[in-house]
């Protein structure tokens, strides 16, 4: 197959993608917006069901995407991608998969043609998380998920 007939994510490095190409890789699962805890002894990252206060927990989209870094100073900017940032992203994340040379999953909206495929595949955290506004910091450990 010629390079021109293949999708951009198969022929371009992440660093070479345009802003619109980069943004289209986000599947809208919301997992990157979940609070994570790092085990200081092992370095293992534990996801919680507690989301950033800006995440619309129904649509799994940021309620103020353009201003997220000023409103949430510890919001993870994944561009440019680094090994440390990759460790904080879920295994299903397109940025993580492509950085490892893996293909996108067939439920990814770029392949399925619909954002609903993320929910149907059970990847989305839509309606499965709770905003950090409602969880005291002292209780976050009780919200760790697999």
Give how many domains the chain has, as a whole number: 1
pLDDT at 113: 95
Which pLDDT tens digit goes with each residue over 107-139?
Answer: 999 999 999 999 999 999 999 999 999 999 999
Distance, CA of 10 to CA of 139 (rounded, Å): 42
Radius of gyration of the chain (CA): 16
Note the pTM of the prediction, 2 decimals.
0.86
Q: What is the mean pLDDT of residues 43-71?
A: 92
Domain that includes residue 27, residue range? 3-143
Mean pLDDT of the chain: 91
pLDDT at 2: 54
| In the predicted structure, residue 144 carries a pLDDT above the cut 60 | yes
pLDDT at 4: 64
pLDDT at 86: 86
| In the predicted structure, residue 146 carries a pLDDT above the cut 80 | no
Q: How far out from the chain centre does Cα 56 lie?
A: 14
Sheet-wide strand order for 45-51? 34-38, 45-51, 130-131
10 versus 44: the higher-pLDDT residue is 10
pLDDT at 43: 85
Picking from 118, 107, 102, the residue whose alpha carbon sits closest to that of residue 32 is 118
């Amino acid at each position: 197959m010629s390079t021109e007939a293949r999708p951009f994510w198969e022929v371009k490095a992440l660093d070479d993608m345009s802003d619109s190409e980069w943004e289209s890789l986000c599947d809208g699962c919301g997992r990157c917006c979940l609070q994570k805890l790092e085990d200081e002894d092992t370095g293992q990252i534990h996801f919680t069901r507690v989301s950033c206060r800006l995440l619309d927990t129904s649509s799994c989209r940021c309620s103020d995407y353009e201003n997220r870094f000023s409103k949430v100073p510890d919001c993870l900017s994944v561009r440019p991608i680094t090994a440390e940032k990759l460790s904080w992203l879920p295994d299903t994340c397109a940025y993580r998969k492509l950085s490892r040379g893996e293909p996108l999953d067939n439920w990814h909206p770029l392949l399925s043609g619909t954002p609903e495929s993320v929910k149907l595949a059970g990847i989305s955290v839509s309606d499965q998380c709770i905003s950090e506004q409602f969880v005291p910091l002292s209780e976050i450990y009780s919200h760790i998920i697999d």
